Amino acid sequence: MSGSVERYSSISQEQEEQAKAQRIRAYWRANTILIRNLLIVWGFVSLGCSILFVPLLNHISLGGVPLGFWMAQQGSIFTFVILIFIYAIQMDKLDRKYRK
Amino acid sequence: MSVEAWTTVFVIISFILYLYIGWRSRVKDSKGFFVADRGVPAVANGAATAADWMSAASFISMAGIISFLGYDGSIYLMGWTGGFVLLALLLAPYLRKFGKYTVPDFVGDRYYSVWARLVAVVAAIFVSLTYVAGQMRGVGIVFSRFLQVDINTGVLIGMVIVAFFAVLGGMKGITWTQVAQYTVLIFAYLIPAFAIALILTGNPIPQVAFGFSDIIEKLNQVQVDLGFAEYTQPFANKSMLDVLFITIALMVGTAGLPHVIVRFYTVPSTRAARYSAGWALLFIAILYTTAPAVSAFARYNLIDSLHNKTVTEIQQLDWATKWENTGLLGFDDKNGDGRIALTPEEATSEITIDRDIIVLSTPEVANLAPWVIALVAAGGLAAALSTASGLLLVISSSIAHDVYYRIINPQASESQRVMVGRVMVGFAIAIAGYFGVNPPGFVAEVVAFAFGLAAASFFPVIILGIFDKRTNREGAIAGMIIGLAFTAFYIIGVKFYGMSTWFLGISPEGIGTVGMVINFFVTYIVSRLTPPPPLEVQEMVEHLRSPEPDGAPLSDIGEEQLD
C-alpha cells in the first residue's frame, strides 16, 4: 500500500514539474513577444521617423516646427520613456499571471 | 554678492552635502561596497543612474554641439537616450536576476571561462578609464572658469571629494551622493532654460516654447539669410547613412557601458530594475528635451544680438565683453566696415563662438541674478563628479572583485575583499587625477572608442547569453575579440593613421554598429560549430528567464518610503 502511494506522489510530482516548465516557457514566450512589439515601435520612431523618413516628414509642420526635426529632437525621447514604463507595467501583469 | 562669492558658497555647500552623505552611507561588507546592499529603491536608483550617465559633456557641451549642428545634433539626443530602451527590455532585468556584482561576472559565469572574464575585465577598465579622464578634466575646467582656481588645483579638490565618499561608502556612498548630485544639476540646468524660454517666446516651458512658437521658423530664416543651411535641415553635416550608424552605435554603446549596467545590480528585485530604467530615462529626458530648446534659443539669441552690430554696440553688452575676455567668444572686424558679421566660412566670419559658451553664458544673456550663474557652476561640478565616481567604482570592482576575488584568491575574507576594493578606488582616483592634470591629447578622439568598444564587445554577448541558450564559450570569446579588433582597427586607422573611411563612408563614431553586427554573427556561427554549453549553464539561463517568486514587496519600486 505504501508503495502505491509513493508511486502516485512521484507521478503527481512529475506532472507538477512539467506544468511548471510549461508555465515558464509560456511566460518567456509572452515576454519575448512583448519585447519584440515594443522594439518595433522603438525602431520605427527613432530610426524611421527621426532619421530615414525625416526629409519626408519635414514637409508636415507641427506648431512652428517641421515634424521630422521635432521627432528627432523631442518626440523620440518622449516615446522612449513611455515604452519603458509600458514594458514594466505589462511585465507586472505577466508576473502575476504566470507566478505560482 | 558677486558671482565668485556666490559660486564659492554654492560649491562649498554642495560639497559638504556630498561629504555628509558619504559619511552617513559608509559600509563594512562587500555587498554594501559593490552593490549598495541591493537596497536602493527604483526611483532613487533612477536618479542615481541619471546623474551617473549625464557627464560634464552632457551638461556643458551637448546643447552647444546641437546648436552648431542643428538637426544633425539629434544623433546625441537619440543615441544617448534610446539605449535605455534596449537596457530596460533586454539587459537590466536579467542581469539583476543573475544577481552578482559586475558585468565581467555575468560574462565569466555565463561563458564558464576565465578567459571570457578577463576579456570583459580589460574592456570594462579600458572603457571606464577613457571616460573618467575627461570627467576629471571637466572638474578642473569648471573650477578654473568660475572660481579662478588653477585647473590642477581644481582637479585635486575634485579627487579628494570623490575619494572621500567612494572609498568610505563604495557603491552605497556613490549612489546616495549621485541622487543629491542629480537634484543639483537638474535645477542648475532648468532655471536658466526657463528664463531664456520666457524672454524669447513668452512661454517659460522650454519644450512647449520649442514646439509651439515661431522661434524655429525665425531661426531658419536667419540662418538662410546668413548663408547657413536651415537649422532644421537634415543631413547638412553628415550623410543619412552616417547619422543612422552613429545613432545606433551610441544607443547600443549606452546599453553596454558597464558603469550604467552595474547600477541595476543595486535594486532589490527584477521588477525594481525594470521600473528603475524607466525612472532613469525620465530623469535624463528632463534634461535631454530641454537641451535642444536651449540650443535653438541660444543660437537665435546670439545671432540676433551680435550679427551686424557695430563694435561699440557689442562692447556695451556686458556678457559679450566678459566672455570675450575668456577667449570663448571672439570678435574681429576683418573687412573693416565697422560692423561685425557672422558667416558660414571661417575665413570671413568676424565672430568666433566656442560651443561650451551656449550653456555657460545663458544665465548672463538672460540677465539672471548672480546666484543662478553660481548654480550652473555647481551643476557642472555635480555632473562631472557623479559620472567620475560611478566609473571609478567599475574600475575598482573589476580588479578587486573580478580579478582578485574570482581569479586570484577565491578564499578571500569579506574584510579583505572590501579592503582591496577601497585600495583600488584610491588607485583609480590617482590615475584619473593624473590624466586630469596631464590630459592626453587624444581624449576627445577616444570617446568614440568607449562607445564603439562597449557596442562591439559587451552588448552582443550579454544579449545572446540571455536570449540564445545555445551560445557557448567559444562563440562568445571569438565574437568579442573579432568585434573589438575590427572596431579598434577602424577607429585607430581613421583617427590616427589617416585611413579613409572605406566602410560606406561611415565615420569612426558609427563603426561600433558594424563591430556589433560582426560580433553577433561570429558568436552565433562559432557557437553552432562547437559543443553546446554545459547543462548547469543552460539551467542558469532558464532561471534568468523565469518569473520571480511571489512576495516581492511593493517598496522595491519606490512606492513606499525611501529608506
Q: A6-16: per-residue pLDDT in tens?
A: 555 667 888 88
Q: How far is CA B359 from the centre of its chain?
A: 17
A5 belongs to a structural domain: no
CA distance A11 to chain B (A): 23
Cβ neighbours of residue B126 closer than 8 Å, sequence gap 6 or more: B449, B453
Range of the domain at A84: 21-98
With respect to residue A4, please indicate whether it lies within any of the assigned structural domains: no
What's the one-letter identity of residue B325? Answer: N
In a domain, A83, yes or no: yes
Domain ranges of chain B: 3-222+231-292+367-439, 303-359
Name the pTM for this structure: 0.91
Interface test with A, best of B65, B74, B201 (most A CBs within 10 A): B74
Residue ranges of chain B with per-residue pLDDT less than 70 = 440-448, 550-563
What residues of chain A lie within 8 A of the CB of B210, using their CB?
Answer: 65, 73-74
CB proximity list for B166: less than 8 A, separation 6 or greater? B22, B173, B174, B389, B392, B393, B396, B425, B429
Per the CB < 8 A criterion, the answer to whether A81 and B285 are in contact is yes
**Residue A70 pLDDT:** 93
The DSSP result for B433-449, as a single string, is HHHHHS--TTHHHHHHH
Find chain A residues with C-beta within 8 A of B278's C-beta: 81, 84-85, 87-88
pLDDT at B475: 94
Q: How many CB pairs below 8 Å do chains A and B form together? A: 140
Sign of the Cα torsion B90, B96, B100, B103 reads positive
pLDDT tens for B71-97 read 999 999 999 999 999 999 999 999 999
Q: Say what the alpha-carbon torsion angle B480, B486, B491, B497 is, to the nearest 10 degrees.
A: 140
Asked if residue A52 belongs to a domain, the reply is yes
pLDDT of amino acid A99? 77
Of all residues in chain A, the one with the smallest CA distance to B543 is A24
Domain count, chain A: 1
Percent of chain B with pLDDT over 90: 29
Query: Which single residue is written with the C-alpha cell 546641437?
Result: B66
Check pLDDT > 90 for residue A41.
yes
Instruction: Return the pLDDT at B454.
Output: 86
Q: What is the pLDDT of residues B400-453, one digit of tens each?
A: 888 888 888 888 888 888 888 889 888 888 988 888 888 765 555 666 678 888
Helical H runs in B89-204?
92-98, 103-110, 114-147, 151-201
Is A68 a domain residue?
Answer: yes
How many whole angstroms separate alpha carbon B402 and alpha carbon B120?
Answer: 10
- Architecture of the domain delimited by B3-222+231-292+367-439: Orthogonal Bundle (1.10)
At residue A5 the predicted structure's pLDDT band, cuts being 50, 70 and 90, is low
